[in-house]
């Protein structure tokens, strides 16, 4: 059974592992320790299978990043993480790689729309990012 909890110190190593498996330019352990209060983790039993991070910026909620362990993808965990942070009263935004079609499809399903492009946004390969926004319902 999937449960979602605030990130605790004991979960950081598992989050870093998922980060390393998911992104070409992963964030390190120190990053997650310093921003621990911004993250939720999805767990099956005691095993961390995914995470999502958010922060408030200028009255909007920014989804910092989200990832699901490769062994646990396509099981609805990403959707559960999004549902845990989304609400109908706030504006949300995020950046997503132009090449990351699976993530774009999930975000669009939850009402996010592409509103702009950040040129050369990703440091690892200078790939562009779509800025996606979800307005209050």
Number of Cβ within 10 Å of residue 86's Cβ equals 17
The model's pLDDT over 32-74, given as tens digits with 9 standing for 90+, comes to 999 999 999 999 999 999 999 999 998 899 999 999 999 999 8
Read off the pLDDT band of 104 (50, 70, 90): very high
Catalytic residues: 95, 107
d(CA 37, CA 126): 29
The model's pLDDT over 78-92, given as tens digits with 9 standing for 90+, comes to 999 999 999 999 999
pTM: 0.91
Q: Are 106 and 97 in contact (CB under 8 A)?
A: no
Read off the DSSP letter of residue 36.
G
d(CA 131, CA 55): 16
CATH no., domain 2-134: 3.40.630.30
Distance of CA 40 to the CA centre of its chain: 10
Domain definitions of the chain by residue range? 2-134
d(CA 21, CA 14): 11
pLDDT at 125: 87
């Amino acid at each position: 059974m999937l449960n979602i909890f605030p990130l605790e110190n004991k979960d950081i190593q598992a989050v870093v592992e998922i980060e390393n498996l998911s992104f070409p330019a992963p964030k390190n352990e120190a990053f997650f320790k310093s921003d621990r209060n911004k993250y939720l983790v999805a767990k099956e039993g005691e095993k961390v299978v995914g995470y999502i991070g958010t922060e408030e910026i200028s009255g909007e909620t920014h989804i910092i990043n989200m990832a699901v362990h490769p062994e646990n993808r396509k099981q609805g965990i990403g959707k559960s993480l999004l549902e845990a942070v989304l609400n109908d009263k706030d504006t949300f935004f995020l950046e997503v790689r132009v090449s990351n079609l699976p993530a774009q499809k999930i975000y669009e399903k939850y009402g996010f729309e592409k509103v702009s492009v950040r040129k050369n946004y990703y440091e690892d390969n200078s790939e562009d990012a779509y800025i996606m926004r979800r307005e209050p319902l």
